[in-house]
Amino acid sequence: MKAFFDYLESRCKESNSLLCVGLDPHPELLSKPSPISAREYCIKIIEECAEYACAFKPNSAFFEAFGAEGIDALYEVIGSVPDGIPVILDAKRGDIASTAQAYARSIFDYLGVDAVTYSPYLGSDSIMPFVERPDSGVFVLCKTSNDGSNDLQSLKSNGEYLYMHVARQAQNWSQYNNLGLVVGATDPRAVEIVRQVAPTLWFLCPGVGMQGGDLAAAMQAGLREDSMGILINVSRSIASSTDPRKVAKELRDAINSERHLSDKKKQNYFTKGIGDGLLESGCVQFGEFTLKSGIQSPFYIDLRRLSSFPNVLRSVADVISSMLVDLEFNCIAAIPYAALPIGTAVALNTDASLIYPRREVKDYGTGAEIEGVFEAGDTAVVMDDLVTSGESKFETINILQAAGLLVRDVVVLIDREQGAEKTLASHGYKLHAVFTIRELLDEWKLSGSIKSEQYSAAMNYLSSPS
């Protein structure tokens, strides 16, 4: 028996499509609000769009509103979908024991759909009747596309968003390849975060079109490395058009354009633009500079300038926020001064607590050596703008540890690649860098942002003995 996502992937490859066409017969879109009109409306969309759809997703509520006749109409709509095209019922079921079993029988046995959307609020035992059949798929609500999704889904639980916890737990809820997640296109950063938490699961991604979700952002954030793993669900943008077939083709083609982006662009959705932003803001300059050590350098990095360029700072905060997803910590410890605006922006992004060690301890007031609120036993992730040898980070780490804080990780924007990773590792700390300086230099050379002689001088400098 073929597992649901094996079946879905076969259809995606056959149709060269990741477009899921939603069938939502809103009363205002019907010639007359009736089960017959709803059925005819949906069947017309199916006939128009089948060539370009990898799946169809009828919304059960619009049929249930017509009572028993509406359920009969839904049954006929499902039966009209051509063989080989999966049908996902948007029903958002969720209950326990015999009730859950009854829902599963009605959905998979009577209506005959291939998959269903599901609310995880009742926990793992409630979903068992839905995932025990390998050929029946379940999309668990994770981070939905509606405005109110943050009311609950973005609450913190054990240091991470609730939707991240759902994504982690859901991966253990089925022994078959038949469980995916609903992640809305209206929050591409959440899509990126969930993709990091669940790198192999399929996403059902609503919100493109009428809800304002950005297709390119959702695709770049949610695609797996095999250019699969995300269904872009669109309903009203297709249904309200005068030519649904044309719109479906355009959407299919737009989705495929994003799929065919280079691996570099897909992997660097959040980092794109940062490299050039660092040059344009003067945070990285080329010329002849005397460093504090007295050594002459062909480039100079001054990330204190970031605070004057909010667009670049925002991009930096986004990418660092995504790096923090898999780290365990209670607070961010930003090292003054360059890391303070970065740490503040990341804290605003992630709702994490920010603390920082003072450069000079006051001899009045509280005399605090560390500003901010924390408790002994908390874990702090150390954040700075860049790292060279890594030795200077121990001053901050020692202050934090003396106050009872635990430190495991150091996060920076740029690693100058002068031994920091090895130095920190020898003391039990892991370095996480958005860029190495060589990666930036390679990017700038490739894009033509710096001259060949500037690139050569910088690479020679980095390769010379310190």
Q: What is the DSSP string of 63-103?
A: HHTTTHHHHHHHHHHHHHSPTTS-BEEEEEE---HHHHHHH
Fold match flag (4-261 vs 274-463): no
Residues belonging to the active site: 92
Instruction: Flag whether pLDDT at 84 surpasses 50.
Output: yes
Contact 316, 284 (CB under 8 A): no
Report the pLDDT value the prediction gives residue 258, as an integer from 0 to 100: 85
More confident call, 19 vs 212:
19
As a whole number of angstroms, the distance between CA 393 and CA 246 comes to 58
Report the pLDDT value the prediction gives residue 359, as an integer from 0 to 100: 79
Instruction: Flag whether pLDDT at 113 surpasses 80.
Output: yes
Mean pLDDT in residue range 142-148: 93
pLDDT tens for 203-234 read 999 999 878 888 988 998 899 988 899 999 99
Q: What residue ranges do the domains of the chain occupy?
A: 4-261, 274-463
As a whole number of angstroms, the distance between CA 155 and CA 135 comes to 33
Report the pLDDT value the prediction gives residue 240, as an integer from 0 to 100: 86
With bands split at pLDDT 50, 70 and 90, how would you rate the model's confidence at 270?
Answer: very low
Q: Which amino acid is at 445?
A: K
| Residue 262 CB partners (closer than 8 Å, separation 6+) | none
Report the pLDDT value the prediction gives residue 331, as an integer from 0 to 100: 96
With bands split at pLDDT 50, 70 and 90, how would you rate the model's confidence at 266?
Answer: very low
Mean pLDDT in residue range 421-446: 93
Mean pLDDT in residue range 301-305: 95
The CATH code that applies to domain 4-261 is 3.20.20.70
**What is the average pLDDT value for the chain, to the nearest integer?**
91
With bands split at pLDDT 50, 70 and 90, how would you rate the model's confidence at 134?
Answer: very high
Dihedral sign for Cα atoms in the order 190, 194, 200, 206: negative
Distances (CA, A) of 414 to 93, 168, 230: 46, 30, 31
Q: Is the pTM of this model over 0.85?
A: no
Contact 17, 51 (CB under 8 A): no
- Rounded to the nearest 10 degrees, the angle between the axes of helix 452-463 and helix 437-447 is 160
Mean pLDDT in residue range 194-202: 93
Instruction: Flag whether pLDDT at 439 surpasses 60.
Output: yes
Mean pLDDT in residue range 246-268: 75
The CATH code that applies to domain 274-463 is 3.40.50.2020
Report the pLDDT value the prediction gives residue 263, as an integer from 0 to 100: 42
As a whole number of angstroms, the distance between CA 450 and CA 443 comes to 9
Residue recorded with tokens 């355009």: 250
Distances (CA, A) of 141 to 20, 175, 235, 337: 17, 19, 18, 41
Mean pLDDT in residue range 422-430: 95
As a whole number of angstroms, the distance between CA 455 and CA 442 comes to 8
- Rounded to the nearest 10 degrees, the angle between the axes of helix 339-350 and helix 310-323 is 60
As a 3-state breakdown, the chain gives helix, strand, coil percent values, each rounded to 5, of 45, 20, 35
Instruction: Flag whether pLDDT at 257 surpasses 90.
Output: no
Instruction: Flag whether pLDDT at 400 surpasses 90.
Output: yes
Mean pLDDT in residue range 109-117: 96
132 Cα distance to chain centroid? 28
Instruction: Flag whether pLDDT at 265 surpasses 50.
Output: no
Report the pLDDT value the prediction gives residue 366, as an integer from 0 to 100: 60
pLDDT tens for 39-50 read 999 999 999 999
Q: Which of 56, 445, 447 is nearest to 238 (CA)?
A: 56
Instruction: Flag whether pLDDT at 269 surpasses 60.
Output: no
351 Cα distance to chain centroid? 16
Mean pLDDT in residue range 11-20: 95
Report the pLDDT value the prediction gives residue 418, as an integer from 0 to 100: 87
